[in-house]
Amino acid sequence: MPEKRKEVRLTAAERDVLEKFVAHGTKSARAINRARILLLLDEDRPEKALTTLLGVSRGTIYNVRKKYLQKEHAHILDVLHETPRKGRPIKIDSRVEAKVTMIACSDPPEGYGRWTLHMIADKLVQLEVIETISHESVRRTLKKNKLKPWLNEQWCIGKITGDYLWHMEDVLDQYTLPYDPLRPLICFDERPCFLIGDVGSILPMSPGKAKRYHYEYEKNGSCCVFLAFEPHTGLRYVEGRARRTAVDYAEFMQNLLHKRYAQVECIRLIQDNLNTHTPGSFYEV
């Protein structure tokens, strides 16, 4: 005789956790469905009723039951998370994407009016960027980066020089390094902002209507926002300044170091090539 299937029996604490998980917060629909499957199995609902009620397959119910029965000392919420699926590893990393962009934005070979997907794929293999790549993968990469080689109105990098490639690969190498709290990676940029004021009255929100502003406005000058962002941790440090001179840049970096990173060995800084973003700015101060 086949072995009798074990039933799901939740403890009072587990049931309370799952009910709160379903009722509150924003979660994925798949995780919520798994929580509901466990709750309904604990109520001895038949699997056929679950497939109709939740719109899931019998295989999903079987996998959720099996994972719960095998969890041992794991937390009940661990049952709701999906394990990584098997398959071929993704080989289109940031370095390959950068090379695709570089090729697409460069001049095509002599005798051709533009790069085709197959030509870009062949060029990547020829440059030993990657062992093999399909033209469909090239198409997805171009689409992801909003590049359209078949159009003429796009903006592209004019000339790829050795100095450009050196800086590009240096930046990509920094992004691939693991997180080091003593050597944090910081991305920095700045942007001007116009200070505008309202000249007319504001109509408040009402049922069926959003808050409304008059289309006219008055200018109250401008300022500059400085932002430092740590991609590994999500930390942001922002300052608003009247100008964006070399002195402002150096003072911002000094404040960033003293207020946020006083204990680190060094900061690995990623920034653009604005004329004030140089070590010379620190000598100005």
Ordered by start, the domain boundaries in the chain are 12-80, 89-176, 179-284
DSSP for residue 267:
-
For the chain, what is the mean pLDDT? 84
Q: Taking 80 as the threshold, does the pLDDT of residue 40 lie above it?
A: yes
Helix, strand, coil % (nearest 5) of the chain? 40, 15, 45
CATH architecture of 179-284: 2-Layer Sandwich (3.30)
Centre a 10 Å sphere on the Cβ of residue 138 and count the other Cβ atoms it contains. Answer: 25
Q: Taking 60 as the threshold, does the pLDDT of residue 3 lie above it?
A: no
Strands 268-270 and 185-198: what pairing? Answer: parallel
Q: Residue 2's pLDDT band (boundaries 50, 70, 90)?
A: very low
268-270 sheet: strands from edge to edge: 235-241, 217-230, 185-198, 268-270
What the block records as the tokens of 116 is 């085709």
Out of 69-83, 148-162, 209-223, give the one with best mean pLDDT: 209-223
pLDDT (tens digit per residue) in 175-234: 999 999 999 999 999 999 988 888 777 888 888 888 887 778 888 889 999 999 999 999
Give the per-residue pLDDT at 1. 45
Do 241 and 228 touch, CB atoms closer than 8 A?
no
Measured CA to CA, the distance from residue 164 to residue 102 in angstroms comes to: 10
pLDDT (tens digit per residue) in 83-118: 666 666 556 788 888 888 889 888 888 888 888 889
Q: Poorest-confidence range of 6-10, 163-167, 187-191?
A: 6-10
Give the per-residue pLDDT at 106. 87
User: Does residue 89 or residue 268 have the better pLDDT?
Assistant: 268
Torsion sign over Cα 34, 40, 42, 46: negative
**Which residue is associated with the tokens 């679950």?**
50
Q: Poorest-confidence range of 11-20, 75-84, 235-244?
A: 75-84
DSSP for residue 212:
B
pLDDT (tens digit per residue) in 132-152: 888 888 888 888 888 877 666
**Which residue is associated with the tokens 């150096």?**
250
Give the per-residue pLDDT at 191. 93
Q: Taking 60 as the threshold, does the pLDDT of residue 154 lie above it?
A: no
Give the per-residue pLDDT at 231. 92
- Give the residue-averaged pLDDT of 154-160: 62
- Give the residue-averaged pLDDT of 257-264: 91
Give the per-residue pLDDT at 158. 57
- Give the residue-averaged pLDDT of 60-82: 79
Give the per-residue pLDDT at 46. 83
Give the per-residue pLDDT at 152. 62
